[in-house]
């Protein structure tokens, strides 16, 4: 072996082209750890074969023994895309017999190396091997033997990858089926759902047909109706007032595409056709929305776009001469359409009785022109039954105090949304809420805390949603009006209740204050005349009535609340109606 002298560096390794076959097989698969020992350079004798090329013309880049893992095929083709064969820059020429030839001097520096990259050629144009060109073949342990038959094997397909994709697709479909089943909100969440999905998966893996693979015929359509409740995911259910709009009862499923196609809004009353199938009841056709065609209901203006104005039309609650509660309300704190009022009451002051009398007066005087709604939040169960029994023509949304906190919030939002839809349709709605204090308590317990707690243990953002619900009351010009009369609890020895009242005190435009001392004397209604009143009452009361009521207030201003109420009830008992009392007061004046 001729050595190549490189300036500044001594080359002692052998090139891969100069290693005989017997010596290449003795190369260990893995080198020893640690610093390699220096081995003396051994002279390899030249052989008759053409596999070894010596001389300066055959100088190649040293290749590590561990990196030589590919074998050059015998037919002269390249071994593969990862195998790189070092070839001299110029082919070796046969030695000339002439003695005049001058031996070439070795090039200074590192010899030039040309790497032959793998280029795939068409199989049909494979060149025939030239016997005159010597082939270089290095055999090592673990090297692959590329034969002509192996090269002509058909190309492998991506069948395992396709099978893996099909399995993942079936798994996603099964998960989607189980997810939709768990969101049914009909009291059957997760019932035998996992077992059914598991059985379908086993049948698909075994090559059999899945259970219930054949399409099942739907039952004949039947008429359905209900209040639409849209979930956060876009689909909805039709709730029935017979079961208090229970979310766990069996309800009609409304697809998301149908809600988008007809432009359905939350809390609209839908009439249509539904079919029953294995997963529940599916709404298939919509006949009317809030009593009109779906196309007409879609053109109604949105509640947020309506302009709010002051109440300008009075609502009369006077019914019978002996019903002093409603007669007092008309004179002390008159209510107009679109009013936002608070009834401030301590416990056992007669606020529940006052609400019942107001509801009965609405049904008696404005049965056809005003839609009555009652919202009872965290109320006693017997009070809920009493309201439903005594008010057959009203929509009662109630959640008793034995229910969950989230049910109180859900019922309040559903009721307010229902009232908004009626106002958008041009109707006048009168809503009685009992009570806004318990509603604020429910939101304080249900919502996640913001980290800021005010006095009384109430969160800083707990009153945001109750304030929005209460502020929905307004009178509009383009559509109807929404009147909300809510009760607020005070004098309960709770700082939270006092804070809630102070937050809502300035949001209303009418206040009717009940006094505990008057109620302790069994004088009903226990109204504090001097603290009760209505803002801009001149817009809803006749000018003559307003002048006479100011005279009555001046006359009762120097008396205590109990004495003032006793004198006022004396005048009410003396006259059969408020109109006659004010006319007689005018004549005497």
* Residues contributing to the annotated binding site for ATP: 336-341, 348-353, 380
Count, residues in the chain:
589
Nearest to 241 by CA among 227, 253, 229: 227
Looking at residue 89, the DSSP 8-state letter turns out to be S
**Is the Cβ–Cβ distance between 75 and 121 less than 8 Å?**
no
**Is the Cβ–Cβ distance between 253 and 235 less than 8 Å?**
yes
- The runs of H, that is alpha helices, within 214-271 are 256-262
Residues 32, 485: Cα–Cα separation, whole Å: 91
Residues tagged in the binding site annotation: 336-341, 348-353, 380
From the number of C-beta atoms within 10 Å of its C-beta (0-12, 13-18, 19+), residue 235 rates as: middle
Residues 464, 445: Cα–Cα separation, whole Å: 13
Nearest to 341 by CA among 233, 238, 471, 447: 471
Residues 294, 258: Cα–Cα separation, whole Å: 11
| Both tokens assigned to 250 | 């069996």
- Angle, CA of 453, 455 and 407, to the nearest 5°: 65
- The runs of H, that is alpha helices, within 398-461 are 405-424, 436-446
**Is the Cβ–Cβ distance between 257 and 264 less than 8 Å?**
no
Residues 49, 67: Cα–Cα separation, whole Å: 25
Name every residue whose Cβ is closer than 8 Å to that of residue 27 and which is 6 or more positions away in sequence: 65, 140, 141
Nearest to 471 by CA among 459, 462, 487, 482: 482
Cis peptide, bond prior to residue 131, ω within 30 of zero: no
**Is the Cβ–Cβ distance between 42 and 90 less than 8 Å?**
no
**Is the Cβ–Cβ distance between 527 and 515 less than 8 Å?**
yes
| Both tokens assigned to 290 | 């809030």
From the number of C-beta atoms within 10 Å of its C-beta (0-12, 13-18, 19+), residue 105 rates as: exposed
Q: Are β-strands 395-400 and 370-379 bridged in parallel, bridged antiparallel, or unpaired?
A: parallel
């Amino acid at each position: 072996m001729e050595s190549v002298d490189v300036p500044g560096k001594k080359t002692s390794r052998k090139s891969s082209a100069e290693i005989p076959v017997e010596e290449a097989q003795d190369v260990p698969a893995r080198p020893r750890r640690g610093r390699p020992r220096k081995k003396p350079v051994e002279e390899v004798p030249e052989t008759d074969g053409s596999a070894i090329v010596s001389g300066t013309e055959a100088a190649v880049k040293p290749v590590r023994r561990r990196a030589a893992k590919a074998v050059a095929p015998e037919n002269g083709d390249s071994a593969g895309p990862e195998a790189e064969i070092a070839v001299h820059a110029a082919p070796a020429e046969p030695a000339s017999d002439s003695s005049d030839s001058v031996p070439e001097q070795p090039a200074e520096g590192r010899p030039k190396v040309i790497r032959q990259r793998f280029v795939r050629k068409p199989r049909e144009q494979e060149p025939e091997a030239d016997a005159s060109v010597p082939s270089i073949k290095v055999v090592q342990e673990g090297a692959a033997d590329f034969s002509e038959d192996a090269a002509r094997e058909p190309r492998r397909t991506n069948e395992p990858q396709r099978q893996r994709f099909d399995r993942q697709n079936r798994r996603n479909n099964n998960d989607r089926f189980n997810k939709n089943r768990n969101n049914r909100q009909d009291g059957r969440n997760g019932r035998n759902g996992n077992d059914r999905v598991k059985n379908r998966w086993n049948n698909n893996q075994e090559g059999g047909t899945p259970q219930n693979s054949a399409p099942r015929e739907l039952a004949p359509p039947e008429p359905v109706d209900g209040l639409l409740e849209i979930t956060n995911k876009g689909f909805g259910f039709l709730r029935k007032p017979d079961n208090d709009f229970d979310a766990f009862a069996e309800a009609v499923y409304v697809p998301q595409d149908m809600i988008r196609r007809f432009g359905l809004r939350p809390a609209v009353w839908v009439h249509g056709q539904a079919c029953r199938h294995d997963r529940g009841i599916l709404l298939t056709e919509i006949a009317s929305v809030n009593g009109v065609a779906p196309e007409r209901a879609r053109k109604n203006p949105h509640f947020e776009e309506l302009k709010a104005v002051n109440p300008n039309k009075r609502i009369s609650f006077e019914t019978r001469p002996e019903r002093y509660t409603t007669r007092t309300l008309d004179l002390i704190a008159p209510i107009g359409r679109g009013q936002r009022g608070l009834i401030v009451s301590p416990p056992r002051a007669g606020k529940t009785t006052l609400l019942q009398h107001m509801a009965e007066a609405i049904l008696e005087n404005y049965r056809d022109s005003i839609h009555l709604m009652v919202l009872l939040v965290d109320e006693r169960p017997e009070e809920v039954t009493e309201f439903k029994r005594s008010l057959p023509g009203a929509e009662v949304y109630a959640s008793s105090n034995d229910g969950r906190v989230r049910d109180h919030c859900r019922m309040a939002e559903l009721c307010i949304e229902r009232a908004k839809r009626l106002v958008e349709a041009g109707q006048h709605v009168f809503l009685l809420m009992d009570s806004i204090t318990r509603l604020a308590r429910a939101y304080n317990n249900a919502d996640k805390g913001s980290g800021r707690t005010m006095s009384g243990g109430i969160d800083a953002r707990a009153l945001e949603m109750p304030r929005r619900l209460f502020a929905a009351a307004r009178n509009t010009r383009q559509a109807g009006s929404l009147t909300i009369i809510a009760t607020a609890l005070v004098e309960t020895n709770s700082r939270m209740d006092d804070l809630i009242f102070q937050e809502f005190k300035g949001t209303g435009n009418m206040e009717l204050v009940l006094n505990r001392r008057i109620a302790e004397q069994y004088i009903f209604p226990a109204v504090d005349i001097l603290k009760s009143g209505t803002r801009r009452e001149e817009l809803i009361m006749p000018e003559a009535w307003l002048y006479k009521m100011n005279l009555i207030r001046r006359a009762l201003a120097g008396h205590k609340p109990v004495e003032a109420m006793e004198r006022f009830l004396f005048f009410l008992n003396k006259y059969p109606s408020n109109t006659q009392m004010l006319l007689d007061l005018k004549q005497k004046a």
